[in-house]
Amino acid sequence: MKKPVRIAIAGLGTVGAGTIRLLHEHKDLIELRCGRPVVVVAVSARDRSRDRGVSLDGFTWFDDPALMAAEAEAEVVVELIGGSDGPAKAVCLAAIAHGRHVVTANKALLAHYGADLARAAESRGVALAYEAAVAGGIPIIKALREGLAGNRISRVYGILNGTCNYILTTMRQTGRDFADVLSEAMKLGYAESDPSFDIDGIDTAHKLAILASVAFGTPVAFGDVFIEGIRHISAMDISYAEELGYRIKLLGIARLTEHGIEQRVHPCMVPLATAIARVDGVFNAVVAEGDFVGRSVYEGRGAGAGATASAVVADIIDIACGRFVPTFGLPVGAMRPLPPSPVERRRGAYYIRLMVVDRPGVFADIAAALRDEQVSMESVLQRRRAPGESVPVVVTIHDTDEASMRRALARIGGLPAMVEPPHLIRIETL
């Protein structure tokens, strides 16, 4: 029998336990696909006594995960601790320094330190694999880095956060508002006790920065991502979107433009006929556009023990078979920084919702503010009249520059008839 692949796992939460379970239940299948056994030899976590639903018998226990990465007799170290710094980073650096391959599900770590870790892995001739870091069980990193390697990618975008997609889907299906659905998502375990990273778009931005690096051969530039979350989306917006022929999705969008690389995360209205509009619940979807392949669409579970463990084990199998490529598809020295194209340069259509006091002259004032910034209205919706009271007014805007749109909204927001700041959602035709 060939020498087994020896694995050390740092972090025994949902994904860590799921990885151990998958390696155990599919032991024979994995050995056939690797050509040799895969065995866990060491683990590390904060609490030894916790019941994780899997047996840890026979594994060497380390209280210090970085010490495990340095000293365990392992070929591969799997980092499932999470967090952009601290123990997770220390584990990866220790493993690489000692010539061990690294598999991680840590998108925050890669978004902030991906280039440094990739450079260190290259210098030691080891793999830094992270399929589980983006879109859970969807093999999008492998698709971009290997399956589409012969293409020049022009755009990659998608639903990258299941929590937000669940909230927006439930709001549409039930007519309930954001705060109510968020509270339910937290009770069901679809949202963390502090859901800020999800609902404010940070989690999606981490993943988008990684996808953009792989797609465009440029260093990860998380700081260049425009980020806007979903807190301001109301049941009223969801209803108006349906009436106008759209669904609201939180998307991460990266594309090459004449000005550089555009990276933005924000709620979008997408046409009902598009594939991504029909991706509901906790599912993720990613779309890549290449010059030869055209458009390819990937959909699946974006999180959870099974989906994420599936991606972790896929990376382990690749390493066991000797299949690994540069971390972001190119050697670090071959990657070229691209100038960021700010969101103000975006040109497209817009939805704006205004709460105004219903009185004569309001429409004229709104139209004048738009006209003065060269912004053209496509349609206006007002469902009811209530003279002297506040009413919602929805305006859709023909393609225009974001900078002009923002100037117009600033003027509209200052009008005496405005009851609250204007709400904007970008329309993406995709």
Using CA atoms, how far apart are residues 143 and 150, in angstroms rounded to an integer? 11
Both tokens assigned to 185: 């998502």
Q: List phi, psi (to 5°) of 158.
A: 170, 175
Quick one: 381 exposed, middle or buried, by C-beta within 10 A (0-12, 13-18, 19+)?
middle
Is the CA virtual torsion 183, 188, 189, 191 positive or negative? negative
Q: Tell me if residue 207 is catalytic.
A: yes
Are 155 and 225 a contacting pair, CB within 8 Å? no
Could you tell me how many residues make up the chain? 430
Using CA atoms, how far apart are residues 130 and 373, in angstroms rounded to an integer? 45
**Which of the residues 89, 107, 207, 249 is marked catalytic?**
207
Using CA atoms, how far apart are residues 392 and 356, in angstroms rounded to an integer? 6
Which residues, 6+ apart, have CB-to-CB distance to 398 below 8 Å? 349, 376, 377, 378
Convert the chain into a string of H (helix), E (strand) and C (coil).
Answer: CCCCEEEEEECCCHHHHHHHHHHHHCHHHHHHHHCCCEEEEEEECCCCCCCCCCCCCCCEEECCHHHHHHHCCCCEEEECCCCCCCHHHHHHHHHHHCCCEEEECCHHHHHHHHHHHHHHHHHHCCCEECHHHCCCCCCHHHHHHHHCCCCCEEEEEEECCHHHHHHHHHHHHHCCCHHHHHHHHHHHCCCCCCCHHHHCCHHHHHHHHHHHHHHHCCCCCHHHCEECCCCCCCHHHHHHHHHHCEEEEEEEEEEEECCEEEEEEEEEEEECCCHHHHCCCCEEEEEEEECCCEEEEEEEECCCHHHHHHHHHHHHHHHHCCCCCCCCCCCHHHCCCCCECCHHHCEEEEEEEEEEECCCCHHHHHHHHHHHCCCCEEEEECCCCCCCCEEEEEEEEEEEEHHHHHHHHHHHHCCCCECCCCEEEEECCC
Residue type, 69: A
Catalytic residues: 207
